[in-house]
Structure 1
């Protein structure tokens, strides 16, 4: 029951991160990395933010064709698909974006997310590590990899490291992540292994 509550809370946090972030984040819209029409791109983003999925999808598809070097439209198409729980099409969009720019941290992070949703947790870990290799200060990846380490891989010390880094990068305002850190630090295993840090 506690695990089910935590997983539900995780999904809520992920949805919030995606919806509110700017600049991978796993749950957010992405600015175009190559020159494209700012007006067209802003219109597509506005459609996406307003919930007009069909309109946003058509707008980003058109932008992707018009600006074949831009990764933003493909990444946002992937985010739209992932939010609709259409993980296979989402992965195709993210992979297409990564063909255009292999260091697109948002696409790398989202690939970790959709790969984990498909049940491949080691594959998800690989994608998250690629995202951190591309940009180690990308907060959403630290959150996602921390959740993976804690809930699936059962590696508390690694989870703590990434939760702490996430809080450091985001100003420590996420009270839920603060609670997760406290719970992990209070755990018997953590205390036993880290007695020198606790004392």
Structure 2
């Protein structure tokens, strides 16, 4: 059976948008957890994912929000360039300054949350992503990212709630369905719900993901624990 380490495998990723509520996901399955949020002034719809890794990373379409001040957009773009160039410290300083000067914008908070998570600073990551969803409560990407950080912290109930909120905001958000399925499968031990989430993800991603198809087959073939079977027979 697959291990939690599957969550940290990397694959190339897609980008996404809207400074008041935007995000660029970092690396593949790592993007289930590790992504970089990149805002622009308008929403960008990412290409359809080709695998579990890319789908987990791929953001849902970002809803267009109020116009972003030009100065804030420039500051964001500068921080984003630093991030893409591998200058994480510069990017962090830029996003932090923007989060302080324009706390109403979700994007800078979300990017900080991802940067902190990648650095192993989980409390800071959760706090930043909580600020992101408060600033932009209609952005499913932020809730998905928050769910990832909560999962890292072992806060599985909160993680589930965050993923489910992302799905409420966008029922076709494949990454959130996949992440919820993994949470049910590996952490909450709820095979039935894991199956539902995986199958929904497969439907949204065109059913071409061989990795998740194998997971579904494993779940279908998985036998319940002997104690559970005995209890069922007695009822």
- The alignment's TM-score, normalised by the length of structure 1, stands at 0.79
Pairing 1:183–2:183 present: no
Alignment match of 1:22 (pick from 4, 12, 15): 15
Instruction: Tell me the distance in 2 between the aligned counterparts of 1:170 and 1:43.
Output: 33
- List per-residue Cα deviations over 1:43-72 (Å, max 9, x = no partner): 322322332210110121222234333211
What's the counterpart of residue 138 of structure 1? 173
What's the counterpart of residue 192 of structure 1? none
What's the counterpart of residue 9 of structure 1? 6
Alignment match of 2:117 (pick from 68, 76, 82): 82
Aligned residues between the structures: 182
SS at match of 2:3: helix
- The alignment's TM-score, normalised by the length of structure 2, stands at 0.68
Which stretch has the larger CA shift, 44-53 or 122-131? 44-53
5+ long unaligned stretches in structure 1? 190-199
Q: Is the 8 A contact 2:172 2:204 kept in 1?
A: yes
Instruction: Tell me the distance in 2 between the aligned counterparts of 1:109 and 1:55.
Output: 25
Instruction: Tell me the distance in 2 between the aligned counterparts of 1:170 and 1:112.
Output: 21
Point out which structure has higher relative CO (alpha carbons under 8 A, 6+ apart). Answer: 2
Pairing 1:55–2:90 present: yes
Cα root mean square deviation, aligned: 2.3
Which stretch has the larger CA shift, 173-182 or 112-121? 173-182
Q: Give the structure with the higher percent helix.
A: 1
SS at match of 2:162: helix
Change (3 A) 1:174 1:42: farther
